[in-house]
A and B are shown apart, each in its own frame.
Chain A
Amino acid sequence: MAVLSKYLPGAKKAREDHFEKDDPRQYLMHDPIPRGQMNEMVMESMHATSWKFWMVFGILSVLVAVCFFYAWGYMIAEGLWVAGVMRPAYWGIFLVNTVFWIGISHAGTFISAILRVFKAEFRRPFTRAAELMTTFGLIQAGASIFMHLGRVWLSYWMFPLPNQRELWPNFHSPLMWDLLAITTYVLGSTMYLYLPLIPDLAMARDRSTGWRKTFYRILALGFRGTEGEWRHLHTAMNFFAFAIIPVMFSVHTIVSWDFAMAMRPGWSSSVFGPYFVLGALHSGMGAVAIVLFIMRYTMKHMDYFIRKEHFDALGKLMMMVSFTYAYFIFNDYIIQWYGGNLATDNLLHWLEEGPMSWMFYQMILFNIVIPFAVLWIPKVRQTPWLLAVVGLLINIGMYWERYIIIPVMLTINNMPFTWKLYEPRIEIYLTIGTFALFLLFYMAASRLIPLIPVWEVQEGQMAHTMRKIGKANVSTISDFE
Chain B
Amino acid sequence: MIRKFFKWAFSPMGRIAVAIAILSLFSLAAYGLYQTQQAPEQPIQFTHKLHVGLGIQCLYCHPGALRGPSPGLPTISKCWGCHQQIAKTQTSALLKPMVEAMDKGVGFTWVPVAQVPDFVHFTHRPHVAAGLNCENCHGDMTQVTIAVNPQVMNMGWCLSCHKERAAGDKEKLTKLTDCGTCHY
Tell me the A residues contacting B by CB distance below 8 Å.
163-166
User: From residue 116 to 171 of chain B, which have CB atoms closer than 8 A to chain A?
Assistant: 154-157, 159
Residue of A nearest to B157 (CB): A164
Listed by A's residue number, 12 A-B pairs whose Cβ atoms lie within 8 Å are A163-B156, A164-B154, A164-B155, A164-B156, A164-B157, A165-B154, A165-B155, A165-B156, A165-B159, A166-B155, A166-B156, A166-B159
Contacts of B155 in A (CB 8 A): 164-166
In the bound complex, what is the Cα–Cα distance between A176 and B156 (angstroms)?
23
A163 to B159, CA, bound (A): 12
**Interface of B, helix, strand, loop or mixed by DSSP:** helix
Cβ contacts under 8 Å, B159 to chain A = 165-166
* Residues of chain B with a CB closer than 8 A to A165's CB: 154-156, 159
Residues of A within 8 A of B156 (CB): 163-166
Alpha-carbon distance between A164 and B158 when the two chains are bound, in angstroms? 10
Q: How many Å from the CB of B4 to the closest CB on chain A?
A: 14
B78 to chain A, nearest CB (A): 37
Known contacts A165-B154, A165-B155, A165-B159, then 9 further A-B pairs from the complex at CB < 8 Å, ordered by chain A residue? A163-B156, A164-B154, A164-B155, A164-B156, A164-B157, A165-B156, A166-B155, A166-B156, A166-B159
Smallest Cβ-Cβ distance to B156: which chain A residue: A164
Q: Which 6 pairs, one residue from A and one from B, show the smallest C-beta to C-beta distance?
A: A164-B156, A165-B155, A164-B154, A165-B156, A166-B159, A166-B156
A-B contact count (CB 8 A): 12
Minimum Cβ distance to chain A for residue B178 (Å): 13
For B154, list chain A residues within 8 Å (CB): 164-165
**Complex Cα distance A166/B154, Å?**
11
Distance between Cα atoms of A166 and B157 in the complex (Å): 10
Identity of the chain B residue whose Cβ is nearest the Cβ of A165 in the assembled complex: B155
A164 contacts across to B, CB distance below 8 A: 154-157
Beta-carbon nearest neighbor of B152 in chain A: A164
Q: How far, in angstroms, from A166 to B159 measured CA to CA in the complex?
A: 8
B17 CB → nearest A CB, Å: 24
Query: Which residue of the partner chain A has the closest CB to B163?
Result: A166
Q: How far is the CA of A339 from the CA of B165 in the complex (A)?
A: 52
Question: Please, which residue of chain A has its CB at the minimum distance from the CB of B154?
Answer: A164
- A163 to chain B: which residues have CB within 8 Å? 156
Nearest opposing residue in chain B for A164, CB measure: B156
* Smallest CB separation, B100 vs chain A (Å): 43
Q: How far is the CB of B159 from chain A (nearest CB, A)?
A: 6
Across-interface contacts of A166 in B (CB, < 8 A): 155-156, 159
Residues 81-96 of B, flagged 1 when their CB comes within 8 A of A and 0 if not, give 0000000000000000
Bound Cα distance A234, B46 (Å):
75
Within the assembled complex, what's the spacing in Å between the Cα atoms of A163 and B156?
Answer: 8
Q: How far does the alpha carbon of A221 sit from the alpha carbon of B41 in the complex, in Å?
A: 57
Cα distance A260–B136 in the bound complex, in angstroms: 50
A320, chain B: closest CB distance, angstroms: 51
Distance in Å from the Cβ of B7 to the closest Cβ of chain A?
A: 14
For B157, what are the chain A residues with a Cβ–Cβ distance below 8 Å? 164
Task: State the CA gap A401–B159 with chains docked (Å).
Answer: 47
Q: How far is the CA of A165 from the CA of B157 in the complex (A)?
A: 8
Q: How far in angstroms is the closest Cβ of chain B from A87?
A: 22
Complex CA distance for A164 and B157, rounded to whole angstroms? 8
Distance from B177 Cβ to chain A, minimum over Cβ atoms (Å): 9
Q: In the complex, what's the smallest C-beta–C-beta distance from A165 to chain B, in angstroms?
A: 4
| Closest A residue to B160 using CB positions | A166
Taking the nearest CB of chain A, how far is it from the CB of B149, in angstroms? 16
Which residue of chain A is the closest to B179 with respect to CB atoms?
A167
Report the separation of the CA atoms of residues A163 and B157 in the bound assembly, to the nearest whole angstrom. Answer: 12
**How near does chain B come to A257, taking the closest CB pair, in angstroms?**
26
Q: A166 vs B155: C-alpha distance in the bound complex, in angstroms? A: 8
Q: How far does the Cβ of B134 sit from chain A's closest Cβ, in whole Å?
A: 23
Point out which of A163, A164, A165 has the most chain B C-beta atoms below 10 A from its C-beta.
A164
B50 to chain A, nearest CB (A): 35
B166 to chain A, nearest CB (A): 14
A165 CA to B156 CA, complexed, in Å? 5
Report Cα–Cα, A165/B179, bound state, in Å: 11
A83 to chain B, nearest CB (A): 25
Q: How far is the CB of B133 from chain A (nearest CB, A)?
A: 24
A173 to chain B, nearest CB (A): 16
* Cα separation A165 to B119 with both chains bound (whole Å): 15
> Which chain B residue shows the least CB distance to A211?
B2
Report the nearest B residue to A163, measured CB to CB: B156
Give Cα A165–Cα B155 distance, bound, in whole angstroms: 5
Shortest Cβ distance from residue A341 to the other chain B in the assembled complex, whole angstroms: 33
Chain A nearest CB from B91 CB (Å) reads 48
Complex: A165 Cα to B159 Cα, angstroms: 8
Q: In the complex, A271→B73 CA distance in Å?
A: 63
Least CB distance, A325 to chain B, in whole angstroms: 44
- B163: shortest Cβ distance to chain A, in Å? 9
Tell me the bound Cα distance from A342 to B3 in angstroms: 71
What mask results when residues 49 to 88 of chain B are scored 1 for a CB within 8 Å of chain A, else 0? 0000000000000000000000000000000000000000
Determine how close the nearest CB of chain A comes to the CB of B119; give it in whole angstroms. Answer: 13
| Bound complex: CA A164 to CA B155 (Å) | 7
When chains A and B are docked, how far (Å) is the Cα of A411 from the Cα of B131?
54
In the docked arrangement, what's the CA distance between A164 and B154, Å?
Answer: 8
Taking the closest CB of chain A, its distance from the CB of B19, in whole angstroms, is: 25
A230 to B178, alpha carbons, bound, how many Å?
58
